[in-house]
Amino acid sequence: MPPTPGKSSVTINCRQRINQELEDGDKVTILLKNKNVRASSEEEDWYCRAFGPKRNFMTVRIKYAPIDGIFKAKRNWFVIIKYKMFDEMVKEIAEEGMKFENNMTIELKEEIGDTDLPDYSSRLELPYGTYDC
């Protein structure tokens, strides 16, 4: 049922508490996915992160941006990540046959940023846990 004309429409995003947006007696319209329409790559990725093999993974982004021209020459940059998976995740990840090191050395890839100076970054998918660089 489409929203009633003249009534405001509220979009509730995932993980947002319904009781913060709605009052008792408010009507809610739920749109279901049409199973006959192929999912987009974004929808497939979302499903994989919500219910599939990526459901307990976080994305770690590491970025280094030199602040002056000293580093204009081509260099290779590495970062050492100290990582510890949450204890409650260890058994599940081990059952799936995946292993993750506690200390990792990751090379940062060069990207040209907003300035003429390059930025260096990397992106990792790790099971939920703690990390420090």
Per the model's pLDDT, the better-predicted residue between 128 and 15 turns out to be 128
Secondary structure (DSSP) of 34-91: -TTSPPPHHHHHHHHHHTSTTTTEEEEEEEE--SSGGG-S---EEEEEEEEE-HHHHH
pLDDT, tens only, 46-66: 888 888 877 888 889 988 877
Per the model's pLDDT, the better-predicted residue between 81 and 18 turns out to be 81
Instruction: Provide the pLDDT for residue 13.
Output: 53
Over 70: is that where the pLDDT of 12 sits?
no
Torsion angles phi and psi, residue 77, rounded to 5: -115, 140
Instruction: Provide the pLDDT for residue 130.
Output: 92
Region 59-87 average pLDDT: 80
Q: Which two tokens stand for residue 60?
A: 């770690």
Whole-model pTM: value is 0.56
pLDDT, tens only, 85-131: 999 888 888 887 788 888 889 888 888 766 667 788 899 889 999 99
- Beta-bridge mates of residue 60: 124
Q: Which two tokens stand for residue 127?
A: 């099971």
Confidence of residue 84 (pLDDT cuts 50, 70, 90): very high
Window from 2-11, 14-23, 33-42 with minimum mean pLDDT: 2-11
- Beta-bridge mates of residue 51: none
| Maximum Cα interatomic distance, the chain, rounded to a whole number of Å | 64
